[in-house]
Amino acid sequence: MNNSSPESVDSSEEITDTEDNEEEDLGVLDDQRSVILHLLSQLKLGMDLTRVVLPTFILEKRSLLEMYANFMAHPDVFLAITSGATPEERMIRFVEYYLTAFHEGRKGAVAKKPYNPILGESFHCTWDVPREKVRPLRTTSSSPAPAAAAAHSAQTSSNEGLGSYRLRFVAEQVSHHPPVSGFYCECKERRICVNTHVWTKSKFMGMSIGVSMVGEGVLHLLDHDEQYVFTLPSAFARSILTVPWVELGGKVSISCAKSGYSATVTFHTKPFYGGKVHRVTAEVKHNPSGTIVCKAQGEWNGTLEFTYNSGETKVIDTSKLPVIKKKIRPLDKQGQYESRRLWQQVTTALKAGDIDEATEHKHQLEERQRREGKQRSASSSSWKPKYFIKEGEGWVYHNPLWKTK
């Protein structure tokens, strides 16, 4: 295996991604409904679905590892966190980024399930973010003068990529039972990186399926020597027999021990009768004084309203935020365990509507994984990930920015 830093992926080979995450179909077809009914008849409430093979037609044409990359669809907002002038401003910017991070990964109205990554599978991409785009979602006095920004913009358009920050992303499936993914993202110039490990724990709940994202992430702002520890919400696939849809639920926390600021974000599931869908509320608190410095409410895939203790308010429409496309190497340049290449035959068959062919290719990948697992058991060797190292309960990228500063 080659040298395993994200730099080992030759970014000069990357091209702007043209895949669209929209899922076009209109719900479950009659013949598919009978397959789901048969499957549901064999499940018990509360049952762990980790080992249950779900029908191929509910798959989403991309790996879960790639879905995690879509949390970074607004890299300009992410990179602006570290230029907040105070610890309070940086925590607020992180919460603003966090609340806008989910809508791009869940674009289609129809709930579909990303491919379960194979052990050892990885996904690599980068974003080139024009420097003049890195500014907070609300204006503060520290923003650059318009003339300087305009001059910078002219320079950037004439030298594309020259006036850009580069953000690198790598995700890897580090464990199969339980299914754990690690993902890491860094921007060297801004001295900012994030390391996350997630165990997707799915459970059958009658007419819906719940997926807990167990684990945590840590955002490192090296210029400020701050670490922000955060958790992730659960996802629910509702109405699985008709037109399935996804909602997020649960309370998540974000905390920075050094500054004493923390935030709680609550994703509200829709009440049984009435009520809005996709609601989210948040508050940012300065723990030593107990002061709430910012509150937010709205929809995570719609409009979010922020109220700051200065009395200022700000509305962010997630659907109008510009999406910066990720760059990814073409399939013929990817290693055989990189997500798009690994799953390409399943994806091609699904796009062509050939469910049987897709099922067969998926089955072959799963069988290979089982075979390799048996061989490891027989020789008493354990799986060693390429990019992540186990530390305590979590997984940490092997060559993170905070070790190389």
Alpha-carbon distance 89 to 95, whole Å? 10
Asked whether residue 224 carries a pLDDT value surpassing 80, the answer given is yes
| 3-state SS class at 26 | coil
Ranked by mean pLDDT, the top range of 25-34, 137-146, 252-261, 324-333 is 252-261
Q: How confident is the model at residue 144 (pLDDT cuts 50, 70, 90)?
A: very low
Asked whether residue 15 carries a pLDDT value surpassing 50, the answer given is yes
Mean pLDDT confidence for 170-189: 93
Q: What is the pLDDT of residue 54?
A: 56
The tokens for 19 are 């895949």
Q: Among 16-30, 327-341, 370-384, which is the least confidently predicted range?
A: 16-30
Alpha-carbon distance 50 to 39, whole Å? 14
Mean pLDDT confidence for 49-74: 72
Q: Is the peptide bond before 178 cis (omega within 30 degrees of 0)?
A: yes
- For the chain, the average pLDDT equals 80
Q: What is the pLDDT of residue 38?
A: 53
91-107 tens-digit pLDDT: 999 999 999 888 765 55
Mean pLDDT confidence for 18-32: 52
Phi and psi based region of residue 89 (left: phi greater than 0; alpha: psi -120 to 50; beta: remaining): alpha
Q: What is the pLDDT of residue 37?
A: 58
Evaluate whether 241 touches 207 at the Cβ level (below 8 Å).
Answer: yes
Q: How confident is the model at residue 14 (pLDDT cuts 50, 70, 90)?
A: confident
- DSSP secondary structure code for residue 318 in this structure: G
Give buried/exposed letters for 50-76 (b at 16+ CB in 10 A, else e).
eeeeeebbbbbbbbbbbbbbbbbbbbb
Q: Among 142-146, 162-166, 201-205, 332-336, which is the least confidently predicted range?
A: 142-146
Alpha-carbon distance 370 to 193, whole Å? 34
Closest to 138 (Cα-Cα) out of 294, 260, 32, 340: 294
Asked whether residue 326 carries a pLDDT value surpassing 60, the answer given is yes
Q: What is the pLDDT of residue 226?
A: 96
The residues, ordered by sequence, that sit 6+ positions from 218 with a Cβ below 8 Å of its Cβ are 194, 195, 196, 227, 228, 229, 230
Alpha-carbon distance 368 to 296, whole Å? 47
- DSSP secondary structure code for residue 135 in this structure: -
Asked whether residue 157 carries a pLDDT value surpassing 70, the answer given is no
pTM for this entry: 0.82
